[in-house]
Amino acid sequence: YFGSYRLIRHFLRRWLRPNEKFRILDLATGSGDIPRLVVEFARTIGAKVEIDAVDFQPSTIEIARHLSGGFPEIRYHCADILQFGQERSYEIVLCSLALHHFSEDKAVALLRRCRALSREKVLVSDLCRGWLAKAGVDLLTATFFREPMTRNDARASAARAFSFQELNRLAREAGWRDFGHRRFRFARQAIWLEHLARE
């Protein structure tokens, strides 16, 4: 509803090409909706993907596996996302709507890990803290999404998210250079690398 899939598709259109094969990693995968989105997009253009999807919670991984019965391209792993994987093992590394759950130090470690795991491209997307995000979340959780857990989680996430300037600084502290960074609708931001193979 609020732009996360649109953001991911924006980069899939740039990065995936027909008749080519991509090994992809999705960190903090949650219910696995992003890997399924990637597979569906790849199928429409004739690209081949193999996706490792990682989350720390066993119950979350079981839900993701249950929802992904028709997606043999995805392998789910219950593991610490800061420890999983071998360096430079993937063409593309994704991490969506997870960074705001981490302290600054852990966020830097995660950004550094994303960069180390990829041979080519990295995309990290998250909420963007600011008055628009706060106002939007307050309005939506007061009118449409009023269930207490949803309301509390949404408001806490909007408050914990990094600002545009903070995320830029954290990426630089993690050793990211020549990276892209822009805002997306609604109250989203993304940072990305796409020339790692040249380094």
Count Cβ atoms below 10 Å from residue 128 Cβ, excluding itself.
22
This prediction's pTM: 0.87
Residue with tokens 């709507």: 97
Nearest to 125 by CA among 97, 105, 145, 87: 97
For position 196, what pLDDT does the model report? 87
Question: For residues 158-173, b (16+ Cβ closer than 10 Å) or e, as one string?
Answer: beebbeeeebbebbee
> What pLDDT does 147 receive?
52
Quote the CA–CA distance of 49 and 38 in Å, as a whole number.
8
The residue among 21, 29, 87 whose CA lies nearest residue 8 is: 29
- Whole-angstrom distance, CA of residue 65 vs CA of residue 179: 33
Phi-psi region of 42 (alpha: psi -120 to 50; beta: other; left: phi over 0): alpha
Mean pLDDT by groups of 10 residues along the chain of 199 residues: 79 97 97 97 98 97 97 98 96 95 96 97 87 46 45 48 95 97 90 85
Give me the pLDDT at residue 70, please.
96
